[in-house]
Structure 1
Amino acid sequence: MNKFLNILFFSVLFCACNSTQEQTLKLSVVTSPSTTATNAFYVSNKQPLLPLHFIKLPIGSIKPEGWVLKYLQLQRDGLTGHLGEISAWLEKKNNAWFSGNGEGDHGWEEVPYWLKGYGDLGYILNDDTIINETKSWLDKVFQSQQPDGYFGPKIRPDKDGHFDLWPNMIMLWTMQSFYEYSKDPRVIPFMTKYFKWQSMLPDSNFLETYWENSRGGDNLYSIYWLYNQTGEKWLLDLATKIHNNTANWMQPDNLPNWHNVNVAQCFREPATYYMQAKDSSFLHATYNDFNLVRTLYGQVPGGMFGADENARKGYDDPRQAIETCGLVEQMASDEILTGITGDPIWADNAEDVAFNTYPAAVMPDFKALRYLTAPNMVISDSKNHAPGIQNEGPFLMMNPFSSRCCQHNHAQGWPYYAEHLWMATPDNGIAAIFYSSSEVTAKVGEGNDVTLIQTTNYPFDEHIKIEVSTSKNANFPLYLRIPHWCNDATVSINGQAVKADSMTASSYVRLENNWKNGDVIELTLPMQLKLQEWQKNKNSVSLYYGPLSFSLKIDEDYKLADSKKSIQWDSKWQPGADQSKWPAYDIYPASAWNYGLYLNKQPLAGQFKIVKRQWPADNFPFTPKSTPIVIEAKGKIIPGWTIDKYGLCDTLPQSPVAVSTKEEAIELIPMGAARLRISAFPVVE
């Protein structure tokens, strides 16, 4: 009898809870959050700027876990964390960034490039060593400010005596992160004084040199950041001045230049100024730039485009590469544009780059990287492969120092990604932008401090679990992004399915509820196989499973190389650096790579077998041996597709390719785990 009463009690309790959920839950599917409200707790755009759809949370709000945390730890223990000890450009002696007065014999973009990610890495990991070292540099930057407002190095003036403002733009971003973390009272007056100085410069001598002219959008972004802190109207006049003197990224059929990093970084400038101009043509220009470069040079997997250093007409094969700088700048642009537009396309592209291209640009221990990485890349060595690739030099090898830019600029990639896993919304809610195991603590609703704990192995698994931790019930909206590739997403709350008319791809599920401690939200994003045909690139194909693109598994033969002999003139070690701790490698194929993919008329599920493996014990899934998912496929060798005279895999043959070789079983692994890879396949008959 008691057992029956207990069952009856819990049944009634379950029904009551379920009924309460139905009464309090408001569910909708939206293309972006409404901006009619204003977030009461986090700094967003002040009027007259257009409101943001998503608002970046202060550094420290998000604690990454899982494989993203593992990547940050590898950065800390690897090149990022120790670059200050080994890079000659970061040597403090005679460094114009560290002298305190702008004097020195070296000091350009390298220090702020490195600090931009290094400092954020320390703030996220709460690492005192990194935080204190960052502050020691920034203290010198504060000290360097002149009475007129200028700060930083006095070296590198052009023939007219004008100082290049490009490296200062990067340092301003470092200052903004430092302020988010520390609220140091020096930052706001420092930036204000500097921008006052900028506002006095004549247009005839403002943003004239190549880098600063191309990248004025980074300066513009910092002006809006300061305006949102102080509300001083003259800053908007300076913003217009910056836009008018920046290269024209609003041309309908052209870009001001085709340097890969500039394109990835600067295409967002019109959308940034759109917040002030409120003219949709500015927003359209950013979308147009993004699509234009991919139409011409981006018929490849991995979210990027083939520019090597500078895109060239006629060089659009997937063997054309992209700088590591370009990868991290594209991710940063996507993250910023997610906030400005609310459009899920930008988060989708950031994932494409983050999962499929960026991991392969860096050694698994994060102690070396390569300057250039391509979707089809079967040799990664120190030879000069020009003009097959645009650059002349040892730019394909894994090397701590093959170039002075990417070795420092790479630092921002994963820290910035981790900072955007969650974002605030105008309606005092919170949004899961990128799915990754993490904790976020934020003010929501009426000012409640709520922690959301996310557990997932995404993108290698389709299940995401979010648990609510709160001292008292809190009513607020939670947004869940539905990626472009997913049409059958499902959501449940406390084990009960939540029904909506349509949880469509490229949208957000908005769950407004009176959340209580222990509530569990589960999101499932069913992953399906998809074959992408690149008609403009010889009808080649790429295979996707959810957000992951797959590459041929090629056995990788690592040969230890002398990094001293395989560097550019502008890549320098500190005199006392122990280079034995920072090995460089040439990577060669130890198995056949020239396979075409064999397809038939069956559904994809009948042609390919998905094999799930155990999650790696070290939480690092981006190596051929550790990846938790592989795909079994069929292929045939293409005898005529070989290494060409430039030492690169030859350009793609036109598909379909008629061959007489036998059909073989081949294994495909996630593109990001393959440092040698074929990711755009010819189709064989």
Structure 2
Amino acid sequence: MATQFMKNVFSLGFLSALLSLTVSAQSPKPVPEKYRELPLSAIKPTGWLRHQLQIMRDGTTGHLDEIYSKVSNDNGWLGGKGDAWEETPYWLDGAVPLAYLLDDKALQQKVAKYVNWVIENQRPSGYFGATTKDEREKNVKIDVANCASGDDWWPKMVMLKVIQQYYSATNDKRVVPFMTKYFHYQLQALKSCPVGKWTEWAASRGADNVMMAQWLYGITGDKSLLELASMIESQSFQWSEWLGNRDWVIGAAAQQNGDHWMRRHAVNVGMALKSPAVNYQRTGDAKYLRSLKTGFNDLMTLHGLPMGIFSGDEDLHGNDPTQGVELCAIVESMFSLEKIIGITGDIQYMDALERMTFNALPTQTTDDYNAKQYFQIANQVHVKRGVFNFSLPFGREMNNVFGMRSGYTCCLANMHQGWTKFATHLWYASPDKGLAALAYSPNEVTAKVGVKQTEVTLRESTTYPFDETIRFDLSTPSDVQFPLHLRIPSWCQKAMVTVNGKSVQTSEGGKIIVLNRLWKNGDKIMLQLPMAVNTSNWGRNSRTVERGPLVYALKLEETWQKENQKEEGDYFTVFPKSDWNYGLLDKIVKDPAANLEVKIGKPVTDTFVWNLQNAPLEIKASAKKIPEWKIVNDVAPQPVTDRNGHFLGKLDDNVETITLVPYGCTKVRVVAFPVVK
């Protein structure tokens, strides 16, 4: 079934649909993706990445419907009176790809129960979703004439993504007619029940709906879907305009009041990043790509944090390393970048996805994936209850602790898409009938390539992002000519590629190289990405140590305490066992290679977990303690520096050797250091 579906994708996918359709000069002129997504069944994670997914399956991702009452009790997406809004679709948005990435039959059956109910209970008009109040109490039949008896468009946008992924994995023949019927209903209903009728959430997140309508257009070629996409865009927040207009991001940096806060909400922003790319895909208008480039660069300049994500606690909140970021913002930004990469082929967004994934994502959940932080902080010198410096301090002061239900539970439901969708976007199909490795982690991909669509398998063996070597082993039933696209990250000064032990190409970073040759069964490709140590400049003249795709934070042994809060249940606080108030010596910034020592620690095995005990790399650095750098109102305000980047206050005389470890392995840390002489 999966093989047949792959054939369908290559023959009926977005590219062929766009190239075969003729549109008038007045109509939008869609453009093909630079790289096409592969079916969900094509990529099988291996090594440490597979183990991460297994942890998720054994934890909340695989069992949220059993342990979280809002999802488990009388669920509206199964016909009950319980949760009928976003949290169940959020959970399924990660649980569905997980079920098929791991080929877990039990989990597949679990998630299919929801998908089947949704499809089988579509109304004759095309409307779908949980039973509404008017349907239940007034026996109203929802159609275009009485669309007001329906319910919020927003959770349906998430459920459409769920069903699309289910289709990618199964090729269930019910899905295309289901979506076609719904979008025909929506096109008419939006005229009297616009996107923002029920909630501003739908208007702020309309790009998800636009994206799904355009996906179906790529399969059916139904031009009314482009009309629908344009209508949804016109009724939604104008993110493409805002991202291209610096007034928006400057205003977001300056204002933290209640005026237009939905425009500053970090999760909305994370979702909105893909909006210009999606609009470009539909219209072919390059102004959208310019808006995306301007907006993303401005966003990371004014609000960027060392671990690769912008601040958002909940609003965008500047680039001070004491600001927080919501877990939902990270996973939604990752997904947006994965869509942007396919549409634009721009390596900047590939680099951004990598940095975010390997640094910001793993630190915000516990080892067993059963507890999460609502907000993480870059310089997080303790994890505890408090108000911190968040734009949403939350009355119960639970936004910074690790708990299942701490903070708002949207992240408990939504965090599951981070690792799963990253795994499904390690490879893309290239338009020249080849394959593209645009992000790296251990996995195995099977796809059809070349003129004759020969099915090949490439096994990617690596402990990346910790190791600089990536090996690909090719299996093919016959010799086959096809191009293999390999991304060379921008941080890499000079990459080297060998085939069967012979050097074939070198390349500087920030490029995608293409190996187009006649491949044979058993061919071995080796990609070497030398990782040099470096430092980067962040908010308040702070410095972060980097090596390859990873940023490094001060290693602080941890003390964990389990506590309980009446409304939000059990949670964990974490405190450091040693001092954290260090400044890096100036000589490290001037010459990182000569003054930073990289030490190899524990090997990365197939059972690797992102924690302090398993940190596979350490960097030794020279530092001095800053006695007056202390905690104020639960955070460690960054010491003031001069324009040359130096802290000029009182220092300890002793030079100490501190140990840095990958940020993603830490829970308490300093990652943005002041610089001292």
Question: TM-score, structure 2 length as denominator?
Answer: 0.88
Q: Which residue pairs with 2:267 in the alignment? A: 261
Superposed CA deviations along residues 335-388 of structure 1, whole A, max 9, x for unmatched, are 111100001111111111111111000111212111111211112123343557
Whole-Å Cα distance in 2 between the matches of residues 327 and 245 of structure 1? 26
Cα distance, 1:677–1:291 mapped onto 2, change above 3 Å: same
Whole-Å Cα distance in 2 between the matches of residues 618 and 182 of structure 1? 28
SS in 2 for 1:468: strand
Q: Which residue pairs with 1:565 in the alignment? A: 566
Q: Which residue pairs with 1:435 in the alignment? A: 440
Q: Once superposed, what is the RMSD of the aligned Cα atoms? A: 2.0
8 Å contact kept, 1:39–1:428: no
1:441 is displaced (CA, Å) by: 0.6
8 Å contact kept, 1:431–1:478: yes
Whole-Å Cα distance in 2 between the matches of residues 385 and 599 of structure 1? 30
Amino acid at match of 1:660: L
Whole-Å Cα distance in 2 between the matches of residues 352 and 429 of structure 1? 26
Cα distance, 1:498–1:42 mapped onto 2, change above 3 Å: farther
Whole-Å Cα distance in 1 between the matches of residues 174 and 149 of structure 2? 29
1:431 is displaced (CA, Å) by: 0.8
1:627 is displaced (CA, Å) by: 1.2
Larger relative contact order (CA 8 Å, sep ≥ 6): 1
Cα distance, 1:83–1:631 mapped onto 2, change above 3 Å: same
Q: How does 1:124-273 map to 2 (within 5 A)?
A: 124-155=101-132, 163-203=151-191, 205-208=193-196, 209-249=199-239, 250-251=241-242, 252-253=245-246, 254=248, 257-273=263-279
SS in 2 for 1:97: helix
Superposed CA deviations along residues 229-286 of structure 1, whole A, max 9, x for unmatched, are 1111111111111111110111212167110101111121121011121111112122
Choose from 400, 408, 413 the match for 1:408.
413
SS in 1 for 2:484: strand
8 Å contact kept, 2:470–2:528: yes
Q: Which residue pairs with 2:21 in the alignment? A: none
Cα distance, 1:132–1:630 mapped onto 2, change above 3 Å: same
Choose from 351, 356, 360 the match for 1:357.
360
Whole-Å Cα distance in 1 between the matches of residues 657 and 567 of structure 2? 37
Is 1:43 aligned to 2:30, yes or no?
no
Amino acid at match of 1:458: Y
**Sequence identity percentage:** 36
Amino acid at match of 1:325: C
Q: Which residue pairs with 1:458 in the alignment? A: 464
Is 1:469 aligned to 2:470, yes or no?
no
Whole-Å Cα distance in 2 between the matches of residues 477 and 665 of structure 1? 48
Question: TM-score, structure 1 length as denominator?
Answer: 0.87
Q: Which residue pairs with 2:140 in the alignment? A: none
1:541 is displaced (CA, Å) by: 0.5
8 Å contact kept, 1:310–1:390: no
Whole-Å Cα distance in 2 between the matches of residues 530 and 53 of structure 1? 32
Q: Which residue pairs with 2:581 in the alignment? A: 594
1:499 is displaced (CA, Å) by: 3.5
Amino acid at match of 2:479: N
Cα distance, 1:279–1:566 mapped onto 2, change above 3 Å: same
**Most deviating of 168-177 and 673-682:** 673-682
Structure 2's unaligned 5+ residue stretches are 1-7, 19-28, 135-146, 250-261
Is 1:110 aligned to 2:87, yes or no?
yes
Whole-Å Cα distance in 1 between the matches of residues 586 and 615 of structure 2? 24
Q: Which residue pairs with 2:608 in the alignment? A: 620
Cα distance, 1:188–1:450 mapped onto 2, change above 3 Å: same
1:407 is displaced (CA, Å) by: 0.2
Q: Which residue pairs with 1:524 in the alignment? A: 528
Is 1:629 aligned to 2:617, yes or no?
yes
Q: Which residue pairs with 2:664 in the alignment? A: 672
Whole-Å Cα distance in 2 between the matches of residues 40 and 106 of structure 1? 38
Cα distance, 1:202–1:43 mapped onto 2, change above 3 Å: closer
Q: Which residue pairs with 1:20 in the alignment? A: none
Cα distance, 1:296–1:391 mapped onto 2, change above 3 Å: farther
Q: Which residue pairs with 2:328 in the alignment? A: 325
8 Å contact kept, 1:308–1:391: no
Q: How does 1:282-681 map to 2 (within 5 A)?
A: 282-298=288-304, 300-312=305-317, 315-385=318-388, 390-392=393-395, 393-402=397-406, 403-445=408-450, 446-499=452-505, 503-534=507-538, 537-562=539-564, 564-565=565-566, 567=568, 584-600=571-587, 603-617=591-605, 619-644=607-632, 646-654=633-641, 655-658=645-648, 659-661=650-652, 662-681=654-673
8 Å contact kept, 2:595–2:621: yes
SS in 2 for 1:625: helix
Amino acid at match of 1:360: T
SS in 2 for 1:308: coil
Structure 1's unaligned 5+ residue stretches are 1-37, 568-578
1:436 is displaced (CA, Å) by: 1.3
**Most deviating of 515-524 and 632-641:** 632-641
Whole-Å Cα distance in 2 between the matches of residues 652 and 169 of structure 1? 45
Is 1:54 aligned to 2:35, yes or no?
yes
Amino acid at match of 1:230: T
Whole-Å Cα distance in 2 between the matches of residues 413 and 311 of structure 1? 20
8 Å contact kept, 1:80–1:118: yes
Superposed CA deviations along residues 44-83 of structure 1, whole A, max 9, x for unmatched, are 3421520111111101111111111111011001111111
SS in 2 for 1:163: coil
Whole-Å Cα distance in 2 between the matches of residues 155 and 359 of structure 1? 38
1:303 is displaced (CA, Å) by: 1.0
Whole-Å Cα distance in 1 between the matches of residues 583 and 405 of structure 2? 35
Choose from 119, 139, 157 the match for 2:96.
119
Q: How does 1:58-73 map to 2 (within 5 A)?
A: 58-73=39-54
1:316 is displaced (CA, Å) by: 3.4
Q: Which residue pairs with 2:23 in the alignment? A: none
Amino acid at match of 1:516: K
Whole-Å Cα distance in 1 between the matches of residues 267 and 501 of structure 2? 46
Q: Which residue pairs with 1:576 in the alignment? A: none
1:142 is displaced (CA, Å) by: 1.6
SS in 1 for 2:613: coil
Count of residue pairs the alignment pairs up:
620
Cα distance, 1:318–1:389 mapped onto 2, change above 3 Å: farther
Whole-Å Cα distance in 2 between the matches of residues 668 and 566 of structure 1? 37
Superposed CA deviations along residues 305-340 of structure 1, whole A, max 9, x for unmatched, are 11210124xx53111111110111111111111100
Higher-helix-fraction structure: 2
Amino acid at match of 1:370: Q
SS in 2 for 1:614: coil
SS in 1 for 2:584: strand
SS in 1 for 2:416: helix
Is 1:98 aligned to 2:78, yes or no?
yes
8 Å contact kept, 1:641–1:653: no
